[in-house]
């Protein structure tokens, strides 16, 4: 018998980047098939091809043995392929029932909505899922788990045969995750094929039948889950060898600069404590949603925290970004274009933004000093093209990042927090940023707290690595730890293991 879905030899490239190289993927009816890989491995691209958002350069897609073309999302839906994204596409101010039928409400004569038919169908779908949910409730009052559930119900009522779930549990609590798994098993027993994408490896072993691993656009393994273990998975996901990409000269760290004690923001992170010393790089790893970015935002005063302390050189750090900046803390934010650079302003104005108040000379901005600061960092960071009058928007991503970095270096920080400093930065610029980080800690004694999704990178750069999982600091790994160890902690596999032993 042919598989329900069979994708063969799928190729896709964007510009010069080959996102998918000859990838095969198939799924049977009543199967839960996990799709895993690091960020940028090609999972999203493959799913977007299946759901009609992208068209492949070459390769075939067969559904029940019939070759099909999926040119747009509407065709995908007609074929029974429905994708549920992490950020749901629902309307929090409408009722469950209205959400379920948004845009495809059954009509009666004179264009009136057929509420009776809607109700009947909704009840049938929820019965099939084995859950009870008040149809008239406002969705926004029900919480994220129900939103996920309503998305699934919506997909089923659209006669979904192949359901793609992209990081469905990212926003859910552990109770809700259990409920979702129950529903997944129910759907499986009813013959729905589910493609399950998750960074949380423990979930793969608990709910899926088969797993396919992508790395750098290639399929590097596809096995029955029963036949593999976590090491197999992690090795295939991480793949690369740790070479000497990361130039570090380790020195003995100096006095404590930043001390975080029992920092808690309810529902986001809990009792997080760590310290950062002069002349060391501390890595902070964890999956998206683990609370790692939220922690540094709270330290810098962007978000509030509920309890705990943040001390800078023994003194409490205030909870406002401008005061943090003045006391010598700098944060390079994750979202470069929205939080880092002011794209419409020239390189010069961006570089001096954090030191504006020190640039006074008799009431005027000291333009000479501004030019000298700008030139210094354009040189030190090799910003290309080296022109201070260009708006930042006209630079490439890597060079924009260098400008934002330059802005913070100009403020002479004691503590430098880098949230994904090399995201979207090309290999050359990446190496330059790494070298600069090493020089900052060694020559100037800066303490760097570095977040990166790229495990080999953060392991290569950091003196020690803190790992977060679901809002908790779960491990501190020394220099030389392997990406596999870090991944095991970050995905909660290890924690699961401990639970079993107990």
Partner 1 sequence: MYVDRGRQYSIAGFLAALLVVLALAAGNFFSLGNFSDILVNISFVTIAAVGMMAVILTGQIDISIGVTLSICSTVAAIASKAGVPIPLVALISVGTGALLGLVNGLLVTRFKVHSIIVTLGTMSVFRGLLIYFTKGAWIYSLPQDFRSVGLGTFLGIQNPIWAMIIVLLVAAWLFSSTAWGRSLYAVGSNPEAARLSGIRVPFVQASVFVVLGALVGLATMFYATRFSTIQSNTGQGFEFVVITAVVVGGVNIFGGSGTVLGVALGALLVGITGTALTFLGISAYWEQAIQGLFILLAVAFDSVRLRRRRYVLQKVRGGV
Residues forming the site for partner 1 (CB under 8 A): 300, 302, 321-322, 324-326, 331, 333, 338-346, 349, 353-354, 356-357, 359-360, 363-365, 367, 384-385, 391, 393-396, 407, 411
Cα 260 from Cα 239, distance rounded (Å) = 34
Q: How far is the CB of 498 from partner 1 (least distance, A)?
A: 38
Nearer to partner 1, 357 or 500 (CB): 357
Nearer to partner 1, 275 or 339 (CB): 339
Nearer to partner 1, 330 or 467 (CB): 330
Pick from 44, 40, 169: which is nearest to 457 by CA? 40
Nearer to partner 1, 64 or 366 (CB): 366
Nearer to partner 1, 340 or 492 (CB): 340
Q: What angle in degrees, to the nearest 10, is found between the helix axes of 397-410 and 427-443?
A: 10
Q: What are phi and psi of 180, to 5 degrees?
A: -65, -40
- 3-class state of residue 356 by DSSP: helix
Q: How far is the CB of 326 from partner 1 (least distance, A)?
A: 7
Q: Which two tokens stand for residue 114?
A: 């057929």
Nearer to partner 1, 90 or 296 (CB): 296
Q: How far is the CB of 288 from partner 1 (least distance, A)?
A: 20
Collect all residues with Cβ–Cβ distance below 8 Å to 497 and sequence separation of at least 6.
none
Query: Do the bridges between strand 472-478 and strand 256-265 make them parallel or antiparallel, or are there none, so unpaired?
Result: unpaired
Q: How far is the CB of 340 from partner 1 (least distance, A)?
A: 6
Nearer to partner 1, 254 or 428 (CB): 428
Collect all residues with Cβ–Cβ distance below 8 Å to 222 and sequence separation of at least 6.
24, 25, 210, 211, 212, 213
Q: How far is the CB of 310 from partner 1 (least distance, A)?
A: 17
Cα 82 from Cα 99, distance rounded (Å) = 16
Q: How far is the CB of 406 from partner 1 (least distance, A)?
A: 12
Q: How far is the CB of 390 from partner 1 (least distance, A)?
A: 8
Q: Give whole-number Cα distances, 290 to 214, 274, 406, in Å.
A: 23, 16, 29
Cα 403 from Cα 136, distance rounded (Å) = 51
Q: How far is the CB of 339 from partner 1 (least distance, A)?
A: 5
Collect all residues with Cβ–Cβ distance below 8 Å to 33 and sequence separation of at least 6.
27, 193, 194, 195, 196, 208, 209, 210, 211, 212
Q: How far is the CB of 387 from partner 1 (least distance, A)?
A: 11
Q: How far is the CB of 298 from partner 1 (least distance, A)?
A: 13
Pick from 467, 401, 18: which is nearest to 217 by CA? 18
**Long-range CB pairs of 385-391, under 8 A, 24+ apart, other chains included:** 387/347, 388/346, 388/347, 388/348, 388/351, 389/346, 389/347, 389/348, 390/346, 390/347, 391/343, 391/344, 391/345, 391/346, 391/347
Other Cβ atoms closer than 10 A to 101: 19
Contact by Cβ (8 Å): 101, 118: yes
Cα 440 from Cα 459, distance rounded (Å) = 18
Nearer to partner 1, 158 or 396 (CB): 396
Contact by Cβ (8 Å): 461, 244: no
Nearer to partner 1, 220 or 353 (CB): 353
Nearer to partner 1, 357 or 502 (CB): 357
Nearer to partner 1, 44 or 399 (CB): 399
Q: How far is the CB of 350 from partner 1 (least distance, A)?
A: 9
């Amino acid at each position: 018998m042919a598989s329900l879905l069979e994708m063969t030899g799928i190729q896709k490239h964007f510009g010069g980047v080959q996102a998918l190289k000859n990838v095969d993927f198939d799924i049977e009816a009543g199967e839960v098939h996990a799709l895993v890989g690091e960020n940028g491995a090609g999972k999203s691209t493959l799913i977007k091809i299946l759901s009609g958002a992208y068209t492949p350069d070459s390769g075939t897609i067969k559904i029940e043995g019939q070759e099909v073309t999926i040119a747009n999302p509407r065709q995908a839906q007609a074929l029974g392929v429905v994708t549920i994204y992490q950020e749901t596409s629902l309307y929090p101010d409408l009722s469950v029932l209205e959400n379920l039928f948004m845009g495809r409400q059954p009509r009666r004569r004179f264009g009136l909505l057929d509420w009776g038919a809607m109700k009947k169908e909704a009840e049938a779908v929820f019965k099939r899922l084995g859950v009870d949910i008040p149809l008239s409730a406002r969705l926004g009052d029900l919480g994220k788990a129900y939103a996920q559930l309503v998305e699934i119900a919506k997909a089923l009522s659209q006669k979904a045969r192949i359901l793609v779930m992209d990081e469905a549990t990212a926003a859910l609590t552990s109770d809700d995750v259990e409920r979702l798994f129950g529903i997944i098993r129910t759907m499986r027993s009813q013959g729905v094929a589910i493609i399950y994408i998750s960074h949380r490896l423990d979930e793969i072993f608990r709910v899926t039948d088969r797993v396919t691993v992508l790395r750098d656009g290639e399929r590097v393994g596809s096995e029955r889950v029963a036949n593999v273990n976590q090491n197999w998975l992690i090795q295939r996901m991480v793949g690369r060898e740790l070479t000497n990409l990361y130039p570090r000269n380790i020195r003995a760290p100096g006095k404590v600069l930043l001390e975080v004690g029992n920092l808690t923001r309810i529902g986001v992170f809990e009792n997080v404590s760590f310290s950062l010393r002069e002349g060391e790089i501390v890595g902070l790893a964890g999956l998206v949603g683990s609370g790692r970015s939220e922690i540094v935002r709270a330290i810098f005063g962007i978000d509030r925290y509920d309890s705990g302390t943040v001390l800078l050189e023994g003194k409490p750090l205030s909870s406002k970004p401008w005061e943090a900046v003045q006391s010598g803390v700098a944060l390079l934010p994750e979202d470069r274009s929205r939080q880092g650079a002011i794209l419409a302003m020239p390189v010069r104005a961006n570089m001096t933004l954090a030191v504006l108040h020190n640039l006074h000379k008799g009431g005027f901005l000291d333009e000479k000093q501004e030019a000298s600061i700008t030139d210094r960092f354009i040189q030190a960071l090799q910003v290309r093209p080296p022109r201070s009058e260009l708006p930042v928007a006209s630079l490439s991503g890597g060079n924009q990042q260098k400008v934002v970095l330059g802005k913070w270096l100009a403020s002479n920080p004691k503590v430098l927090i880098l949230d994904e400093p090399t995201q979207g930065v090309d290999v050359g610029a990446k190496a330059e940023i790494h070298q600069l980080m090493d020089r900052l800690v060694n020559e100037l004694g800066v303490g760097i707290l570095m977040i990166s999704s790229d495990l080999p990178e953060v392991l290569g750069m950091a003196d020690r690595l803190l790992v977060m999982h679901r809002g908790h600091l779960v491990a501190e790994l020394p220099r030389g730890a392997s990406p596999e160890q870090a991944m095991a902690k970050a995905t909660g596999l290890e924690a699961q293991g401990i639970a079993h032993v107990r």
